[in-house]
Amino acid sequence: MSSALTITDIKRGYKAGDQQKAMAAKAARKAFKLSDRDRMFVLVSAVGSKVWKWSYRHAGKDCTLTIGKWPDVSIVQAHEARIAAEKLVSQGIDPNAHAKAKKQKTLTEQATTFWGVTAEWIDLNRTKWSPYYLKQIERYMGKYVRDTPIGARPIKSLTTADIYHLVRDVARRKKLRDDELRTSAPSLAALLKTWCSGVFRLGVVSGRCDNNPAVGFRLADAVVMPPVKNNKALNASQLQDLFKALQTGGGGRPMRIALQLLMLTATRSVELRAARWTEFDFDNALWSIPLERMKMKRPHLVPLSAQAVVLLKELREITGHTDWLFPNSRHENAPMCATALNASLERLGFSGRGSIGFSPHGCRGTFSTWIHESGKFEPLAIERQLAHVQRNQIAAAYNKAEYLTERTTMLQHWADVLDELRATAH
């Protein structure tokens, strides 16, 4: 079949640097060959793609070796590849089998590199982690393992000193660039040590390394962690200051409601900010949080105080047309972003540099401290409200409605205490 392109055109185009002319082959109804010398040819497909191939005989059989796609593989490169393959044939080696073995060796070597095992560890665990935690791991293990020389090294060759220097160097960074997850350098260093330890555990059980270098040193040997202030409990005066600040600051009305609900329900911020309207039973004043959003992966039932119900009904007038209580301001099909509540507290002056160091998680600590100190409620009921369950407890024995009556009374008492503090705030 005739064609607008010949092997001479390819050579002429290559020599003249006129790649555009050389690539101007017209598609035919079926594939055809453009013969070169030494049994090498270009196979032009029906859609016009061009692949270098070489015909040879091995063990009494006619064989074909695919060298590469043109123009990615130039004429000179194709000839060099043919010469190398011809040498293999002369030694009784099949070039196709040799190429497959080389590729398999590369894959095997990649699977035993630190990053290769890391990628496997991530894939094995991605369904067990929350989307936010998975994003953290993929982002930072990619940045500090995959994209650095340590990631290409065989996992078996890594030592405690290698992981120590990785963790220490990250901890000493003054600022983490391009850090949308707002993780501090010391905190990230601590996470990297934990994640690396998980990767090495997989390496040990799969026979790709002999030990876990990440456990060979204490975190304190490499990282100076700042004092933990963000989970502190607010005292009466600080709570009153927060209520005053919330009257006008902290963002729009939904954001101010979010902070109040976080205090009233003592839930984790991820449980609240990703809540959907379908989880709420207003008739019975109950909020059912599905296990997917719970830290311990167990469903949790939260009784709602009268004050919480009032706030929720007000919020429903604002965001009730969406699935989420707190829809993302930029992406209506997603909930509020992970840092929104922290940013709100920072605007109020309760978080960030020079503040008292209060975070959304501190709402749980405030609730726990005040309720424990009141002496009015069973400690186990308080722990159930906080969704604290011992890890060694049999999952089948856990009942999300445990202590529900007492927890209902407890949260109403807490809401009333907060109302009294709000009323006396000046």
pLDDT at 78: 86
Residues 117 and 133 placed together within one structural domain of the fold: yes
Q: What tokens were used for 274? A: 């990703």
Q: What is the pLDDT of residue 1?
A: 40
Residue 231 contacts residue 377 (beta carbons within 8 Å): no
Count Cα neighbours of 409 within 13 Å in the Cβ-side half-sphere: 7
Same domain for 311 and 368, yes or no, is yes
Q: Are residues 132 and 183 in the same domain?
A: yes
Q: What is the pLDDT of residues 346-359, one digit of tens each?
A: 888 887 666 677 88
CB atoms within 10 A of CB 274: 22
Instruction: Give a yes or no: residue 250 inside a domain.
Output: yes
Percent of the chain past pLDDT 70, that is, above it, reads: 83
Domain boundary among 50, 75, 109: 109
24 and 124 both lie in a single domain: no
**Whether residue 4 has pLDDT greater than 50:** no
- pLDDT tens digits for 284-331? 999 999 988 887 778 889 999 999 999 999 999 999 999 999 998 877
Q: Is the pLDDT of residue 98 over 60?
A: yes
**Structural domain span for residue 148:** 112-222
Handedness of CA 324, 330, 334, 338 (dihedral sign): negative
**Measuring CA to CA, how many Å separate 105 from each of 16, 101, 110, 376?**
39, 6, 9, 67
Query: Where residue 151 sits, what CATH number does that domain have?
Result: 1.10.150.130
**What's the domain count of the chain?**
3
**CA-to-CA distance for 7 and 36, rounded, in angstroms?**
6
Contact 179, 191 (CB under 8 A): no
Here the CATH number for the domain that contains residue 18 is: 3.30.160.390
Q: Domain check: are 212 and 249 in the same one?
A: no
pLDDT, position 168: 93
Query: Does residue 269 share a domain with residue 200?
Result: no
Q: Express as a percent the part of the chain with pLDDT over 90.
A: 34
Residues 69 and 138 in one domain: no
Could you give the CA distance from residue 382 to residue 253 in angstroms, rounded to a whole number? 29
What pLDDT sits at residue 22?
42
Residue 252 vs residue 281, higher pLDDT: 281
What confidence tens digit (pLDDT) does each residue in 29-81 have? Answer: 677 777 778 888 888 887 778 888 888 888 888 898 888 888 888 888 888 88
The reply to whether 57 and 74 lie within a common domain is: yes
pLDDT beyond 80 at 216: yes
Last residue of a domain, one of 222, 255, 273: 222
